[in-house]
Amino acid sequence: MKLTPRLRDLPEDWLNLPAFEAGGRPVLFREILQSAVVRGDLDSFLEQTIAAWRAQTEAQNSGLEAEESSVEGLMEDYRYDRDLVSAEETERWLAQWGLTPEDFLDHFVRRYWAGVHRNGMANEASSELNPDVFGRIWLADMVLSGVWIRWARQLATEVVCGLATEPASGDDDGVSLEGFKRKRPWSEPTWEQWLADWELQPAQLAKILRRLQITQKRQREALSHSARESVVDEQRMALVRVDLEVVGFDSEEAAKEGYSCAVSDGLSLELVARESGYPLERRAYFLRDLPDGLKMSILGAYPGAILPPHVGGGTVDVYRVVRHTEPNLADPDVAGEIDAILIQRHFGDLEAREVRWLMTGGPLI
């Protein structure tokens, strides 16, 4: 059964929360989601969310249990990054976003299994996502992954760009809608169902498309080749990509023993993980996103080097450096980061002048 997301999968009171105010009008959570759907941003997010859920389901069906210390480490890192010191603070913060402690735990269990079983997920035939629980999974992953904030910031940019431009004529709106429809091989009933699923009227959709076109034009002006190359040079060290293998041990003693087996006995980190019963994860970071203490160790290590145990969020980690990659605009992830920096610089002042954030915790969490 193919899962078809709809706006009504999410709680109505959550959808009606005000996110920000621009041009004297509050913009609601539902509008953030509707705009993300029109841009096509929802598809890849839902693929990742469902894939993580299937990985979790496959593990449960196989009788496996998540490594408690690893899940707790992910949760502690998240709380630490947001200054949520106590369980009570975390619970209050979650409630302001319409989430529960159970939603919080389930999100990080899914993240754990997505990392451990990245290449062994269940197929659609072996596990179907119950639509009754889909809304909770979807909501939690949007908020806790950070994509919700990115979508909100994107819509804020589109709204303020639209405020500074004369409204299009009705004919222009018709052209935009027809172009949007032509890109989707939908029958008329499918088109009408899509509009109904996302509670969109044609005039509202035309307005979203018009704002998007205006914003894209301004973004193209900001993202010149010379500007992008200049930021690559400026951010060269920060955007070195580091590919790592990591085993998270539950004690310093276990980590030291695993490290010794890998270094002194010449065992691969994968074999150490398998024999000791701890999960091996493969991770990729930009250098700037690593903790300072780990950053210098990794930067000075050669590919294949195994680093001494490092205390992480609730675990003691042993890392193997797979490779360092210099930033290059041909890398889509690097290009995305460079473009985000340029867009923020270009639109940041405009947002600060025109947008008043109403969301819990402000525009960034």
Domains of the chain and CATH, by start: 7-222 (no CATH), 240-325 (3.10.50.40)
Task: Say what the pLDDT of residue 315 is.
Answer: 81
Structural contact between residues 209 and 234, judged by C-beta atoms closer than 8 angstroms: no
Task: Say what the pLDDT of residue 69 is.
Answer: 87
Which segments of 191-315 are extended strands (E)?
241-249, 280-286, 310-311
Amino acid found at 128: E
Positions in the chain short of pLDDT 70: 1-3, 117-132, 164-175, 313, 360-365
Phi, psi of 248 (to 5 degrees): -95, 110
Task: Say what the pLDDT of residue 124 is.
Answer: 45
Q: What pLDDT, in 10s, does the model give residues 293-314?
A: 788 888 888 899 999 998 876 7
Query: Which H or E element spans position 26?
Result: strand 25-28
- Report if pTM > 0.75: no
Task: Say what the pLDDT of residue 43 is.
Answer: 87
Length of the chain: 365
Task: Say what the pLDDT of residue 80 is.
Answer: 87
Query: Which H or E element spans position 30?
Result: helix 29-39
Q: What would the DSSP string read from start to end of 308-354? A: PPEE-SSSEEEEEEEEEE---TTSHHHHHHHHHHHHHHHHHHHHHHH
Task: Say what the pLDDT of residue 117 is.
Answer: 60
Task: Say what the pLDDT of residue 174 is.
Answer: 63
